[in-house]
Amino acid sequence: MIKENFIKLFEHSFKEHWDLPAYSNYYKKTTVTYGEAARQIAKLHLLFKESKIKQGDKVALVGRNTPNWTITYIAVVTYGAVIVPILQDFNPNDIHHIVNHSDSLLLFCSDKHWDSLDCDKMDGLLAAFSIDDFRCVFQRDGEGMQKIVQSLDSKFEKAYPKGFGPEDVKYANRDNTELAVLSYTSGTTGFSKGVMLTGNALAGNITFGIKTKLLEKGDRVLTFLPLAHAYGMAFDFLTATCVGAHTHLLNMIPSPKVLVKAFEEVRPTVIFTVPLILEKIYKKQLQPNLSTMTMRMALSIPVLDTRIYNSVGNKLTTAFGGVFKEVIIGGAPMSREVEDLLRKIGFRFTIGYGMTECAPLIAYAPHDKFKPYSAGKVLENMEVKIDSPDPANVVGEILVRGENVMSGYYKNPEATQKVFDADGWMHTGDLGTLDSDGFIYIKGRNKSMILGPNGQNIYPEEIENKLNNLPFVMESLVIERDGKLYGLVYPDYTAADESHLNDEDLNVVMEQNRQTLNSKVGSYEGLTKIILFPTEFEKTPKRSIKRYLYTNLPF
């Protein structure tokens, strides 16, 4: 019987799945078994012990998704220390800040990241280690840490003279109420705070994945989401490890071309992704074929309609490896047009809802029980209420309470008090409704909502979803300026080049798009103008646009 203590979940898994493959570097075609990972974890535990690291001490980790990244993470939490995973896309100043603010004593990072960092700007750091080969790259005083690293192999052999086997896997006894992860993520409204996640919050997500058989022993996972972010961390990595699944770490930029090839080779049995991936594949591979005159005529004939959609569904399923149980989408709003098409072609997908502060899951329903346009059903160990006089019909802020919720923001009691009310409800900042069956419907972010000229609530995300599905629109942002709405559009320049469109032609197309959009939305939601944007919008790790960077742009 699997125990639900966060640390013991890993202890059980490494004992149980010793000879199974655990982590593969897809790019380098190398694989580490659970037994090999457990051996390296034990060596790192010796390193922590010799370095005088105590339970509850902070250890920072930054780098691309690699087997050594995952091994370091698990070594820290199973020792009883607190892991501080840092997103690889953060700039050096952000990394310096997080290491200092978190009170991290050790830093594990890739050689590439270390080359850009300044150890003098991380005063509390005792030492830094490369996750490329675990050598010491910095020590604060003397040569003590170098000597510890150099003697690790001999100390390990002395500690385990008969070799290291499953019976030697013994991890820290630490209560689930204790802090396990300190997560700093980049949000859509600016640099975020340090989210304190206990073992209980993390175990809540993992045991949900186990009990619902979201992931099972022997499953294959292809992870292209950053594992330092709560979504990828919880399921591609932590849950996969605890059930004995095999995680393939892409370690490459997840372009549609790269992903399709990787899906074909790995053939994942479950896929965790964000809407942007599906929407790009839809726009590149499905929409052009379905929008031709011949195809539109064929789709108007009922018999052909079914055959065509079945064929399209089979092709898309094959593109994702062909054997997955379902594709789980989260992290950002999903375009209704894309969702409608996925449903028509019989694609096995579902959409969930969560946030870093809930480690991350709040709502989920399997694909065969999923309600259209929802974001899943509230989990059994979570409560949700809508700050609205009529939660099923009138939009209000989503409030959550339950086992997965964080314990607060690190060293920031003011921010913690601001999001929690007296009854323990956490204010998510998301807006939505909740039906009688417990399904959540997301309308947008509280901070991004725009008040219309006559007091109407305008949700820019809903307008953007419509705009993004118009010709030659790659992505968009709707902003308000002096009481009027404008659409910032990053065009699909590749498609424009293939159609031999110049900038003047694109402006004509965008004006047609504006008129088409305005005919589909309320009069108070219409755009005054579409403005072409030269580069892709900067995004968070879960591929949401950082709105705050664009709200005050001059145009």
Query: Which tens digit of pLDDT belongs to each residue from 161-197?
Result: 999 999 999 999 999 999 999 998 765 444 568 999 9
Q: What angle do CA 121, 127, 133 make, to 5 degrees?
A: 115
Task: Return the biggest CA–CA distance within the chain.
Answer: 79
- pLDDT at residue 551, rounded to an integer: 78
How far is it, in rounded angstroms, from Cα 81 to Cα 44?
12
Specify whether the CB–CB gap between 245 and 219 falls below 8 A.
Answer: yes
Catalogue all structural domains in the chain, each as residue range(s) with its CATH number.
6-249 (3.40.50.12780), 271-323+326-445 (3.40.50.12780), 470-549 (3.30.300.30)
What is the DSSP pairing of strand 104-109 with strand 58-62?
A: parallel
- pLDDT at residue 1, rounded to an integer: 35
Specify whether the CB–CB gap between 102 and 194 falls below 8 A.
Answer: yes
- pLDDT at residue 188, rounded to an integer: 43
- pLDDT at residue 271, rounded to an integer: 96
Successive 10-residue mean pLDDT values, the chain, 555 residues: 80 98 96 98 97 97 97 98 92 91 97 94 96 94 84 94 96 97 70 88 96 96 92 95 98 86 96 84 70 59 73 88 95 81 92 94 96 96 96 94 96 93 94 96 80 70 88 92 90 90 92 93 88 88 77 75
CB neighbour list of residue 376: distance below 8 Å, 6 or more residues apart: 350, 351, 352, 353, 362, 363, 364, 365, 370, 439, 440
Q: DSSP string of 353-395?
A: EE-GGGSSEEE---TTTPPTT---BBPTTEEEEEESSSTTTS-
Distance set, CA 503 to CA 358, 464, 472, 510, 543 (Å): 45, 22, 12, 10, 27
DSSP 230: H
DSSP, collapsed to helix, strand or coil, labels residue 20 as: coil
DSSP H/E element including 467 = helix 460-467
- pLDDT at residue 299, rounded to an integer: 57
- pLDDT at residue 403, rounded to an integer: 94
User: Quick one: 198 exposed, middle or buried, by C-beta within 10 A (0-12, 13-18, 19+)?
Assistant: buried
How far is it, in rounded angstroms, from Cα 373 to Cα 327?
15
- pLDDT at residue 298, rounded to an integer: 57
Helical H segments across 485-554, by residue range? 493-498, 503-520
Backbone angles phi, psi at 452, to 5 degrees: -70, 175
How far is it, in rounded angstroms, from Cα 185 to Cα 544?
12
How far is it, in rounded angstroms, from Cα 408 to Cα 63?
26
Instruction: Spell out a b/e string for 425-442, using b for 16 or more CB atoms within 10 Å of the CB, else e.
Output: bbebbbbbbbeeebbbbb
CB neighbour list of residue 204: distance below 8 Å, 6 or more residues apart: 359, 381, 402, 403, 404
How far is it, in rounded angstroms, from Cα 26 to Cα 366?
28
How far is it, in rounded angstroms, from Cα 223 to Cα 540?
17
How far is it, in rounded angstroms, from Cα 188 to Cα 235?
22
Q: What angle do CA 370, 375, 376 make, to 5 degrees?
A: 45
Measured from the Cβ of residue 26, the count of other Cβ atoms closer than 10 Å reads 22
